[in-house]
Structure 1
């Protein structure tokens, strides 16, 4: 039986190209192999250290198909997932212990002070307008209990440049102008048919800290997810070997919060807390 919540909420206003991209159903599989698997394993690694012990209430906003919600629920957390993509909600609703519903990060259908943890592991990099990102962070703060934890993922400003260099696509003259433009202003243009992604915004590490502070959240720390590991040619072999996988994760912890290296990672996790005295 699917764990779908039909409760009322704001109808998700998602750009058609973003909805179309995720309705293709590739996101779940992306996190189970190669650099995507490293992203999954490292996100788990960081969250396991940051989250309070289960059982507490976790709201997974923009949680996709439930790749993270699944292991959190299995660990005893009370997980609710909201996502603007109907396919994702259907997939997540099949997972044991996960309640899933359509929802918009900018207008959450949840009561004030009702969750111990809010995860924003996707929404911020598809909200290209700073005002919309501010609204999503304000909503996360609103539904967090005083003292509650927010962990948000962003894509680093130079991720596209690093990835295309790594894959050799930088040398395609038709592709390069789009990469250069995204490197300058962080905006990934959906009109590029060769980008392999959709409309997005890529942050500078210090920028998201400023957005947290402006939203009334107290920043706690930042964690490069993949570090430089995602750019290594032997990555797949390392991940396939249990001993080398563990050693790789150990190595990435050594540099995960070094300010000089935060921007090397493809993704960045930023943690913050709602002040105890918040009203």
Structure 2
């Protein structure tokens, strides 16, 4: 897995605190930073709400600054947010419409069957080892009631590969890093404290291994997602066209991994 310190989980856990606490504005990512963020946000909300209509109790694991939690609370959900970064939890507290806690996806401090649905929009791609990822998914299943749904986002390695090779020079000094990404989902060293990038099939297998049923994996942003991340101005007409493409191709095994994120859903 390489010798970069972030390839070890303890290093990634420490880097997460710095990255989200001091470097990156997570609060803007799903709102104003890019049209891709808006598309990811809207698609995630629609999938979660369709599976579990309000009123319902929902746990937002790795919920960051509360963008998803606030929208769900406005829609009538009783939401609890946990995140490992205290400064992000403090930002989320400002909404005042849902419970906020500092916590880790791998050890959820809630009784069994506490929630109707669980959303993990972040933890999986910060966990290097399959054992830790299965543990996080199993914890989500444990605290979700029978019949409820667990939703888990992952970053597909093929969209990460596309980003990596856009500057062609990336293949020149570090071809082994690109090959590691292709073969095993090992992220190259960089500012983002990534632990693992998935394939859709791999995410499906991990949800099944966590003893979830009726598992499905869909692409969130679709084939236009990467473009929406890079352009500065997007008309509403173009945004809606991109969203229609995302819905149309969400189940396509050939296309879904070109989304910026995939979302796996399993039932308890």
TM-score > 0.5, shorter chain as reference: yes
Against the structure 1 CA distance between its residues 92 and 170, is the aligned structure 2 distance closer, same or farther, given a 3 Å change threshold?
farther
Q: 1:224 to 1:78 in 2, by over 3 A?
A: same
| Residues matched between the structures, number | 255
Q: Which residues of structure 1 form unaligned runs of 5+? A: 1-11, 275-279
Please identify runs of 4+ aligned residues in structure 1 that moved more than 6 A: none
Distance between the aligned counterparts of 1:55 and 1:270, measured in 2?
Answer: 22
How far the C-alpha of 1:177 sits from its partner, in A, is 4.2
Aligned to 2:41: 40
Please, what TM-score do these two structures have when normalized by structure 1?
0.84
Q: For 1:234 and 1:87, how far apart are their aligned partners in 2? A: 26
Which whole-Å deviations, capped at 9, do the CAs of 1:112-134 have from their partners, x for residues lacking one? 11100001111111111111111
How far apart are the structure 1 equivalents of 2:243 and 2:56?
A: 26
Cα distance, 1:234 vs. partner? 9.5
Write the mapping of 1:16-55 to structure 2, written as runs, cut at 5 A.
Answer: 16-24=14-22, 25-32=24-31, 33-34=33-34, 35-50=36-51, 52-55=52-55
Structure 1 pair 98/233, CA: closer, same or farther in 2 (3 Å)?
A: closer
Residue of structure 2 equivalent to 1:145 = 145
Helix, strand or coil: the match of 2:205?
A: helix
Match of 1:267 among 256, 261, 268: 261
Higher helix share: 2
Structural mapping, 1:199-238, within 5 Å: 199-232=194-227, 236=231
Aligned to 2:185: 186
Superposition pairs of residues 124-203 of structure 1, within 5 angstroms: 124-165=124-165, 168-172=166-170, 173-174=172-173, 176-189=175-188, 192=189, 195-203=190-198
Decide which moves more: 15-24 or 98-107: 15-24
Gap change, CA 1:169 and 1:98, over 3 Å in 2: farther
Q: Distance in 2 between matches of 1:225 and 1:257?
A: 10
C-alpha separation in 2, matches of 1:30 and 1:183: 26
